[in-house]
Amino acid sequence: MPSATPADILARRRQLTMDGDADGLAELFSLDAVIELPFAWPSDTPMRLTGRDAIREYAQRITASPMRLDSYEVAELYQTQDPEVVIVEMRGKVTMTATGRSFTTTSIQILEIRDGQIVLFRDYANPRVLEDLLGQTHQ
């Protein structure tokens, strides 16, 4: 059976994310995978996660947060010269369950996918969207 393509992995990640399946999402990552969040906010959000267990814990925390993901789509998918590396433009709509306010967010993500698992995930999301919604400033 042929290995999963990056598009397959992204489609699976989208479904697991929309389903709120933190455990399934963590299983898409290799045991020693790394997530980098260079613009992480709020301040208690780690800028780097190492290992599937840390990724699972983070995914569980996000799933339990007061943000409901209404939509989450790959807007564009770019293949690089390295067949294991893709660049993705993501678009999502999120509702704050406590207030009912919603916002649309975009991010650029770089993923390294090897043997059907994500080994490196860099998410360049703009935290200003969330801070503006919450009326807080980015420090």
Query: Is residue 84 assigned to a domain?
Result: yes
Residue 132 has pLDDT above 70, yes or no: no
Most confident of 21-35, 51-65, 66-80, 103-117: 21-35
Beta-strand runs (E) in 12-98: 29-36, 48-50, 67-79, 85-96
pLDDT class for 138, splitting at 50, 70, 90? Answer: very low
When pLDDT is averaged across residues 92-104 and rounded to a whole number, the result is 87
Query: Can you give the CATH number for the domain in which 14 is found?
Result: 3.10.450.50
Close Cβ partners of 67 (under 8 Å, ≥ 6 residues apart)? 94, 95, 96, 97
For residue 13, count other CB atoms closer than 10 A to its CB.
Answer: 22
Query: Is residue 1 assigned to a domain?
Result: no
**Into how many domains does the chain fold?**
1
What domain range is 33 assigned to? 6-134
Query: Is residue 15 assigned to a domain?
Result: yes
Query: Is residue 105 assigned to a domain?
Result: yes
Query: Is residue 139 assigned to a domain?
Result: no
